[in-house]
Amino acid sequence: MEPAPHVGWAFFPLDEQLGLNSHALTPRGQETLVRLATWMPFEPARELLADLMGIEVSKATARRLTLQTGGSALALDEAEQEWLKQELPEAVSEADKQAISADGAFVHLVGGEWVEVKTLCIGEVSRSKRGEICSQHLSYFSRLSEASDFEQAALVETHRRGLEKARQVCAVQDGAMWLQGLVDYHRADAVRILDFAHAAEYITEIGQEVTARGGRLPKRWVEGVLHRLKHEGPRRLLRHLRWLAARYPGDTIQTDLAYLEKREGHMQYPTYQAAGWPIGSGSVESANKLVVEARLKGAGMRWQGYNVNPMLVLRNAVCTRRWHETWRAAQAKQVADRRSHRQTDSQHRLTQALWTLASWSVRLARLSRPQPTAGLCAPAPAPQPVRRPSTAYSWRKPFLRRPASTSVRTPEPGAKK
């Protein structure tokens, strides 16, 4: 028996009801594969899927399904961002006291370029049983984008967490200018706190530069000035640093001192601690490692720029424990896209069929016209007589003329000679 001919791809409605796709994976198998590939590289995820569920897929399939899911989730976030900017809906209040922190981590692209992925961390501020200030219920938002674009894109997460409705908000971060713009965009009245560890780096660098220029500082000088900064504030410390800068002049000391003086209002650590605010941005530092570097900065990893944000959306979902919500939304988006594509394709085929039918109708109408009767026909032209060659034509030499005859013509009677 001869094999049946290939009929091409077709849509079966039961496949959509069962959640089946072109990769012959059940919905549960596809979700497991994508979730594993969100935590680990594609090849280990494929191997672990085979060991856990007995489903064999290729590395390319794992990569394609994961990035497709991330792309659908990213498209939903972008659509929600545009809706929020146009409609300006009121956010739901989630907590009275919130803290935000933002920072960047670098990712290696295929072309060799290193780009900065920005991450925003939002948490609720509370005290533990021991009375320690801590941040709970952390959520993350990461994107590879410019600072101005990141400010607007983060509106999706800040609105979901009800940042604008919180009674009190603090922003703990370093002194980068784009971070100040981020706070101005989302909560301009937030208490701005310079990360204590960041300030300690500048103070330590000043001490090292003074020692390199021959100055003699106490052995535990750094610990002493940092303790004073934390419990007394920056006024006395800055006065001491100005004295060192005048005695040991140098560009590094002057630059670091100017940086700290400019942010004196953000280093009122005794006041912040008394109000129950954190003074360190450890939450966003941990987010850089957990969300970005743990998956996108492995040994030998190189990413295409357009694949970074789809993966970051999935990383935000699993690290914030919002996976099921993100997965269901992404799957609904893919189903809607497939349905729209089928409708568009059906409309295109219907249009082509209508044009073909119209063209054949015109042809059939022309063929079905009655032929004119014989009485109304114009008389046929008379046949032309067939011209025969003269006697002087030679069949043997058709291209040569026969010479004129030399015979003497007999004159007619009565003609003059």
160 in the same domain as 147: yes
183 in the same domain as 99: yes
At 235-262, the pLDDT tens digits run 999 999 999 999 999 999 999 999 999 9
290 in the same domain as 218: no
174 in the same domain as 95: yes
At 41-83, the pLDDT tens digits run 999 999 999 999 999 999 999 999 999 999 999 999 999 999 9
74 in the same domain as 138: no
Confidence of residue 95 (pLDDT cuts 50, 70, 90): confident
Total domain count, the chain = 3
239 in the same domain as 217: yes
Examine residue 2 and state whether it is found in any structural domain, yes or no: no
Examine residue 381 and state whether it is found in any structural domain, yes or no: no
pLDDT at residue 230 tops 50:
yes
Least confident of 29-38, 222-231, 291-300, 385-394: 385-394
At 16-47, the pLDDT tens digits run 655 556 566 889 999 999 999 999 999 999 99
Q: What is the CATH number of the domain that holds 131?
A: 3.30.420
pLDDT at residue 406 tops 50:
no
176 in the same domain as 58: no
329 in the same domain as 210: no
* 39: containing domain: 14-85+321-341
Examine residue 360 and state whether it is found in any structural domain, yes or no: no
pLDDT at residue 92 tops 70:
yes
Share of the chain above pLDDT 90, in %: 72
Share of the chain above pLDDT 70, in %: 83
Confidence of residue 370 (pLDDT cuts 50, 70, 90): confident
Examine residue 314 and state whether it is found in any structural domain, yes or no: no
127 in the same domain as 64: no
221 in the same domain as 130: no
52 in the same domain as 151: no
185 in the same domain as 285: yes
Please check whether residue 103 is in contact with residue 281, taking contact to mean a CB–CB distance below 8 angstroms: yes
Examine residue 400 and state whether it is found in any structural domain, yes or no: no
Examine residue 370 and state whether it is found in any structural domain, yes or no: no
Examine residue 215 and state whether it is found in any structural domain, yes or no: yes
Confidence of residue 9 (pLDDT cuts 50, 70, 90): low
Examine residue 367 and state whether it is found in any structural domain, yes or no: no
- Model pTM score: 0.81
